[in-house]
Amino acid sequence: MTTPTLDRERLRELFDLRSSYNEYVGGGYRDDPYPVWHRLREQGPVLPGTLHQLMGLNDNLFFHGLPYPDRQHFTLLDYDTCFVAYRNSEVFASSADPVDLEGGPLSITNSMLSMGGNQHKRYRSLVQPSFLPSRGKWWIENWISETVDLLIDGFAGDGRAELNVDFCAAIPILTITGSFGLPVEQALDVRESLGRDPQKVIDLIRPVIEARRQDPQDDLISVLVQAEITDEDGATTKLTEREIDSFVLLLLGAGSGTTWKQMGTTLTALLQRPDLLDAVRRDRTLLRPAIEESVRWMPTDPMFSRWVVADTELGGVEVPAGSVVHIGIGAANRDPARWERPDEYDITRAFKPSLGFGQGAHICLGMHVARAEMTVAISALLDRLPNLRLDPDAEPPGFVGVYERGATAIPVLFDPA
């Protein structure tokens, strides 16, 4: 791989949460939402309304489960209630409508993301092996390490860098597009088109698919073109073009959309606590709890939704069939009934699973790859950038966003190589 060359201005437009590209998910929200979420939780674990409406925001925001103005909406705010909604897929479905890969729209949502029951199990089983912890080395050696090192090569001699968009954002998109056999120069085309022109993404990947049919390689596209799905009668068939297309959109979208924000959040939390950063530099076993605490303390997507398929009761509230419930992951991850001092970023706290990667059948497929990307990237920064610290003369990083939360620019100084 040659040194990745990505258009910095385009990177900022696509990845900076404050950009116009990200306005529709609430990227312009600059306040700290957690005090608001605490006050809302104190009113009850389940409240009628969408999360942003309950926060007093009147913007027309879009995200998973939004807007659906013709449905009733409920927001869940404590850990136990959110956990129930995640685990009970019989009542809380991941989609409003059945998934129809052949006849439905070409989109990220018309994919395994929205499947339930046996359909979801069959499709997930095709790609799950590539994302198990045991395959971490495969991802690291094939794509992650080289991408990280080459990006650092680009600024190691400068003595300064911006680490959020120029580094954190670039790693996951280059990793996932690399695993699909796409060249670096097409990575940002993929990111830009995923939500706006999914057919363009498919057009970019189609030549690679055809090449892998003829000559399989050690990459993710080859896994898809060689996969066989078993139907309910036990018969096996290769994936159709539209089935492969749905996997392509889902994996590219998920692979480029969340990890960079969590990496930036973790880096910011450490850089804002120099003593803690030094401790992690000296003892890399602390990096794993630093990442896990980041996922709890400030998950990048603090809400996901489920569609209610039967009348039910949650937290003492009657929730009718046809409603949408919004699982307030961010609020649940700081539930004082589960964690002491929940607003503190404390990597020494006894580990308890959070909802940062979800729960149940749809628990994040790529969570182990995400952990590998964050671990390799942050460790490489500590290895290669001596005296790494925030730039005292630059605007300090902050956290922004409603349905996608992450850090603003992370300007740093270090001793140049």
Q: What is the pLDDT of residues 105-137, one digit of tens each?
A: 898 888 898 888 888 888 888 888 888 888 889
Give domain status of residue 355, yes or no: yes
Share the mean pLDDT of the chain.
92
List, for residues 279-321, the tens digit of each pLDDT value.
999 999 999 999 999 999 999 999 999 999 999 999 999 999 9
Confidence bin at 417 (pLDDT 50/70/90): confident
Total tally of structural domains belonging to the chain: 1
Tell me, what's the pLDDT at 52?
96
The residues, any chain, with a CB within 8 Å of residue 267's CB and separated by 6 or more, are 163, 164, 168, 378, 381, 407, 410
Run of H or E residues at 266: helix 259-271
User: Can you give the residue range of the structural domain that contains 42?
Assistant: 10-408
Tell how strand 228-230 and strand 236-238 pair up: antiparallel
Give domain status of residue 5, yes or no: no
Residues 286, 244: Cα–Cα separation, whole Å? 39
Tell me, what's the pLDDT at 81?
97
List, for residues 189-213, the tens digit of each pLDDT value.
888 898 789 999 999 999 999 999 9
Give domain status of residue 272, yes or no: yes
What is the pTM (predicted TM-score) of this model? Answer: 0.93
Confidence bin at 276 (pLDDT 50/70/90): very high
Give domain status of residue 413, yes or no: no
Tell me, what's the pLDDT at 229?
82
Give domain status of residue 127, yes or no: yes
Tell me, what's the pLDDT at 1?
52
Give domain status of residue 296, yes or no: yes
Tell me, what's the pLDDT at 361?
87
Confidence bin at 252 (pLDDT 50/70/90): confident
Give domain status of residue 416, yes or no: no
Q: For residue 2, is pLDDT > 60?
A: no
Secondary structure E strands in 58-205:
73-76, 92-93, 160-162
Tell me, what's the pLDDT at 21?
67
Tell me, what's the pLDDT at 3?
55
Give domain status of residue 414, yes or no: no
| Residue 82 burial (CB count, 10 A) | 29
Residue 134, burial from CB neighbour count under 10 angstroms (0-12, 13-18, 19+) = exposed
CATH label of the domain that carries residue 304: 1.10.630.10
